[in-house]
Amino acid sequence: MDAPCAEPGLAARYRRYRLRVFCATWLAYAGFYLTRKSFSVAKVPLSQGADGWSLSDMAWVDGGYLTAYAVGQFAWGICGDRFGTRAVILIGLLASALVAALCGFAPGVAAMGLLLALQGLCQATGWGPLAKNVGEFFSQRERGWVMGIWCTNYALGGFLATRLAGWAAAQGGWRFAFWVPAAALVGVWLVFLLWQRDRPEDVGLPPIEEFHGEPAAVVEAGDALADEPEGSWQVIGDVLRSPMVLLLSAVYFFL
């Protein structure tokens, strides 16, 4: 929804940048699945190959990846606040592609385990900073339906990534399940580089709340925290103590 008194051309510029940011962030999160699904596809040929990976081997590798992914969620969310979505995601996407390419050269379980732990850290750059980026261009009253559409990225991204990695493995072996998705992710990185911007103010536009004539978002815990910089430990601590955050965290953990 555009502001009723927006200056001529402002509404059109806002719509253009909102669409670009929505598409760039949607594609970036879907793109992370390109390198996230590679090992799942490679498991079958790895278990049947000359080395004969056991289920225990694969479980340890998966466990290392998931542990690094969980730890990374805390660190990268804070970095997204402090350094901006653009820097974090560009580093995360490119590093994820590089690590995936190296996975294709992994000589054994130990090397693959180390690389996939690094991949978990790369994958963790995605959700927090990208969700924040969407929030910068869409106001509070829009975010419900906007995020409902935006979150189709993980379902469609996961589906397409599995198909691509499976096709690549069928053509050239399990190593190609890493190499081909890594190359595709570099393409996603280029689109993100060209289209994404952190905030409307970065392109000479007013904040989204001002544009829509809505009150600025505030920290519910009180005015004292509203003056804290983004990513400060005081704000993070208050969020982590929120009963709703704790409840949703517990639900997500058990899911």
Chain segment 54-72, per-residue pLDDT in tens: 889 999 999 999 999 999 9
Exposure on the CB side of residue 212, measured as CA atoms within 13 A: 17
Quick one: pLDDT at residue 160? 96
Residue 107 DSSP code: -
* Euclidean distance between CA atoms 224 and 15, whole angstroms: 34
* Euclidean distance between CA atoms 88 and 122, whole angstroms: 10
Quick one: pLDDT at residue 166? 96
Quick one: pLDDT at residue 52? 78
* Euclidean distance between CA atoms 206 and 79, whole angstroms: 24
* Euclidean distance between CA atoms 90 and 85, whole angstroms: 8
Quick one: pLDDT at residue 151? 94
**Who wins on pLDDT, 189 or 49?**
189
| DSSP SS3 for 138 | coil
Per-residue pLDDT of 178-205, as tens digits, reads: 999 999 999 999 999 999 999 999 999 9
Per-residue pLDDT of 122-159, as tens digits, reads: 999 999 999 999 999 999 899 999 999 999 999 999 99
* Euclidean distance between CA atoms 172 and 176, whole angstroms: 6
Q: In terms of C-beta density within 10 A (0-12 exposed, 13-18 middle, 19 or more buried), how is residue 15 classed?
A: exposed
Q: How confident is the model at residue 47 (pLDDT cuts 50, 70, 90)?
A: confident
H helices within the chain, ranges in order? 10-36, 38-48, 55-83, 85-103, 109-123, 127-137, 143-150, 152-172, 176-195, 208-212, 223-226, 233-240, 243-254
Residue indicated by tokens 């995020």: 147
Measured in whole angstroms, the distance separating CA 223 from the mean position of its chain's CA atoms is 30
Task: Tell me the percentage of the chain whose pLDDT exceeds 90.
Answer: 67
**Nearest CA-CA partner of 154 in 39, 41, 28, 17:** 28
Q: Specify the amino acid at residue 42.
A: A
- Rounded to 10°, the helix 55-83/38-48 angle is 160
